[in-house]
Amino acid sequence: MNNLVLSLAPKLTNLQTLVLRQDKPQLLDNAIETIANCCHDLQDLDLSKSFKLSDHSLYALAHGCPNLVKLNISGCSAFSDTALVYLASFCRKIKYLNLCGCVKAASDEALKAIGHNCNQLKSLNLGWCEQVGDAGVKCLAYGCPDLRALDLCGCVLITDDSVVALANNCLHLRSLGLYYCQNITDKAMYSLAYSRVKNKREMLTSMKNRYEDEGLMNLNVSQCTALTPPAVQAVCDSFPALHTCSGRHSLMISGCLNLTSVHCACTVQAHQAASAFSHPAH
Ligand SMILES: [Zn+2]
C-alpha cells in the first residue's frame, strides 16, 4: 500500500478526499510526505490506525495541506503533542477531527492550540485520551463556539469545570460523550440543563435558529457513577431529543445502577396511558 501511494499521489494533484484506513498498518512517513507535497487541495484525510507514522507526517501535512477540513488520525498513537500543536497552527480550517486513542498527542497544550487556531471546529473525538484535563477542554469551549459533537469518553481527568465551560460557551452542542468520566457530578448535569433554559430564552428574543436549535441529541453518561437521578432527569427534561426508551437510547446511562429511575417523556406518557386504561374511573 505504501508503494501504491508513493506512485499514485504525484498523479492526483487535485485530490480532495483520501481514505487510507488500514487493518494492518503499512503506511510510512514517506507516503504521507508525498501526499502533502503533491495534493495541496486535500480536504478530507483518513489515516486511522496508521501507528507506524511519526511526527514527520504531521509536520508534512501542516505545510502541504492547509485546506484540511476533516482529519482522522484515530489510533495513531505515535504522534506527539508538539506535532499536533504545529498542525493546528497551519491547518486552521479543520472542522472534523478524530484523535481517539492519540494518547500522547492529545494533551492540554494541543487542545489550547486547537482552541486558539481552529475556531470552526464542529466535531472532535478525544476518546481515551487520558492526558486531557479541564485546562484543555476549557480552551476548546472558549475557542470553538460552533462545536456540535465532543467525545470525551475515558478522559478520566476531566471534572465538572469542563462540562460547565462547554454548557456556557458551546450552545450548539448536539452530542457529548462522558462515558467513564467518573469525576463528573450533578453540577455538570445542572449546568447542561440550565444552558438549555438560557439558550431558549435567548432564542426567543433573537428569533433566530428557532428550528435548528434542538439542543443535545446525544448524551452518554454511562459509568459516571457519581450522578444522581434528579440531576440526570433535569437534563432529560430540558432536551426533548434525549431518550432512555428502548430503541432510541440517546441518553445513555448504562452502568449507573442508581439512575434506573430516570425516564424520558415517552416512558412517562406510556405509563400514564397504561394506568388510565387500567383505572378508567380516573
Ligand atoms: Zn423516549
Ligand 1: distance of its center to the CA of 201 in Å? 25
Ligand 1: distance of its center to the CA of 232 in Å? 14
122: amino acid identity, one letter: K
Angle at 196 between CA 248 and CA 216, to 5 degrees: 30
Bridge-based pairing state of the strands 44-46 and 17-19: parallel
Ligand 1: distance of its center to the CA of 211 in Å? 20
Report pLDDT for 198: 74
Q: How many whole angstroms separate alpha carbon 57 and alpha carbon 152?
A: 25
Ligand 1: distance of its center to the CA of 267 in Å? 6
Ligand 1: distance of its center to the CA of 224 in Å? 21
Ligand 1: distance of its center to the CA of 75 in Å? 34
Ligand 1: distance of its center to the CA of 250 in Å? 9
The neighbour count for residue 242, using CB atoms within 10 Å, is 23
Ligand 1: distance of its center to the CA of 262 in Å? 11
Domains and CATH numbers, the chain: 2-278 (3.80.10.10)
Ligand 1: distance of its center to the CA of 101 in Å? 32
Report pLDDT for 208: 54
Ligand 1: distance of its center to the CA of 239 in Å? 11
Report pLDDT for 206: 62
Ligand 1: distance of its center to the CA of 137 in Å? 30
For the record, the C-alpha cell of 155 comes out as: 478522559
Nearest to 93 by CA among 113, 110, 70: 70
Report pLDDT for 211: 45
Ligand 1: distance of its center to the CA of 223 in Å? 21
Ligand 1: distance of its center to the CA of 252 in Å? 12
What is the mean pLDDT, run by run of 10 residues, along the chain of 282 residues? 93 95 90 97 96 96 98 96 98 98 97 98 98 98 97 98 97 96 97 84 61 80 96 95 90 89 83 70 49
Ligand 1: distance of its center to the CA of 121 in Å? 30
Ligand 1: distance of its center to the CA of 240 in Å? 9
Nearest to 6 by CA among 24, 33, 26, 40: 33
222: amino acid identity, one letter: S
Q: How many whole angstroms separate alpha carbon 33 and alpha carbon 35?
A: 5
Ligand 1: distance of its center to the CA of 247 in Å? 8
Ligand 1: distance of its center to the CA of 74 in Å? 32
26: amino acid identity, one letter: Q
Report pLDDT for 192: 97
For the record, the C-alpha cell of 231 comes out as: 440531576
For the record, the C-alpha cell of 123 comes out as: 466535531
User: Which DSSP string corresponds to the chain?
Assistant: -HHHHHHHGGG-TT--EEE---SS----HHHHHHHHHH-TT--EEE-TT-TT--HHHHHHHHHH-TT--EEE-TT-TT--HHHHHHHHHH-TT--EEE-TT-TTT--HHHHHHHHHH-TT--EEE-TT-TT--HHHHHHHHHH-TT--EEE-TT-TT--HHHHHHHHHH-TT--EEE-TT-TT--HHHHHHHHHHHHHHHHHHHHH--STTT----SEEE-TT-TT--HHHHHHHHHH-TT---STTT--EE-TT-GGGTT---HHHHHHHHHHHHHH-TT-
